[in-house]
Structure 1
Amino acid sequence: MKRQKRDRLERAQAKGYQAGVNGRSSETCPYQAMDARSQWLGGWREGRDTKVSMLK
């Protein structure tokens, strides 16, 4: 049985998280569609929070 690809919104969130952890700007969001963009930005915020908490 083939593995299903992860949901596109889940991928957008994961990519946003990685961008946040790596210190990239929120302006670098590659998504134009509002649903994917909001997921990416949500992940970005979580990633930034993780990065900030690691520095404390």
Structure 2
Amino acid sequence: MRRQKRDSSHRAFIKGYQAGISGKNKSTCPHTEETSLAQDWFNGWREGREDNWSGYNAQACQQKVISL
């Protein structure tokens, strides 16, 4: 049985979260701003920044990304 790929909006959210938790700037978004993928990426970025500011360590962030 073949595995289905994760949908692109979920991947964009995860990539945004990883960028946010690592402290990258919002302008590093790889998507055009008017697309839904960009909105998913920004949502992930915001959540990642909030977790970074809350003091989550790298291991806790990895667990969160896996559970998403």
- What TM-score, normalized by structure 2, do the two folds share? 0.77
Structure 2 residue aligned with 1:47: 48
Q: Partner letter of residue 44 of structure 1?
A: W
Structure 1 runs of 4+ aligned residues shifted over 6 Å read none
Structure 2, unaligned stretches of length 5 or more? Answer: 57-68
Structure 1 residue aligned with 2:25: 25
Percent of pairs with identical residues: 47
Equivalenced residues, count? 55
Structure 1, unaligned stretches of length 5 or more? Answer: none
* 2:14 corresponds to 1:14: yes
Offset at residue 23 of structure 1 (A): 0.3
Separation (CA, whole Å) in 2 of partners of 1:31 and 1:11? 12
Offset at residue 45 of structure 1 (A): 0.1
Aligned residue for 1:2, secondary structure, equals coil
- What TM-score, normalized by structure 1, do the two folds share? 0.93
Q: Partner letter of residue 5 of structure 2?
A: K
Separation (CA, whole Å) in 2 of partners of 1:31 and 1:2? 28
